[in-house]
Structure 1
Amino acid sequence: METQKIFIKNKFLDLTDPNYKTISVGNLILTKDGENTKVTGQLKMENMGNEENMVGANISFYNDKGEKIGEVAVTGTNFGNKSQTFEAVGTGDFRNYSTVQLHIGAVNYRVLGGGHGK
């Protein structure tokens, strides 16, 4: 019989982009996925009129020396006032990160300053 570990997190979504504080991310769970790392978490938007908003974001993971060791792209069109679960996969194994940063690149198909192209 094969056994699996099940992780459950239900805390505040306390990771924000300093330039876009109305979107928050949290409850990050990182698991090994072959040679890569799968990131499961939740994203919530404040003061939205519906639950079908588009978000394009990057979550970067750093080691204790401040070096970037991994990154995932989070995109979707079902985000709003309620916390929504997302999954994303990044290259390599960065489960032992020290710090994490959120960068919001686009909201409702509008590219924000400092982001990457379309």
Structure 2
Amino acid sequence: MQHQIEAAYQLPLAELHERSTASGTPSLLGAALSIHEQLRFADHSVSFQLESLRKFVDPERDIGDFDVSHIQGCVQRLAQAHSARTAHAAAITALLAARTASTSAATPHVPAASPTTTRSR
């Protein structure tokens, strides 16, 4: 998603962060960067919960009554993180699509000049 943000704004993410914080006013750029950070956190949560779940259900490990509640909690957190990641990805995709559409609409299409022929007298 970072590449899509950079492509939409035609600047590296670090510079976009600087511009967003320097302006101090709410903007689409600020919203995109905020959603991007939330998406990164959701990605991290999915990875973390998936790794935790793999440890709990390792075939070499005995699962006791105490472990079942931990597995259930881990599965719930994994589902929540996945849902958050999906929602954030959809939100930033829509925001960038709106940005791209408004940028292309704001740039009027200027038709190429037609070749003129000069006649000599």
Q: TM-score of the superposition, structure 2-length normalised?
A: 0.22
Answer 1 or 2: higher relative contact order, Cα 8 Å, separation at least 6: 2
Q: Which has the larger radius of gyration?
A: 2
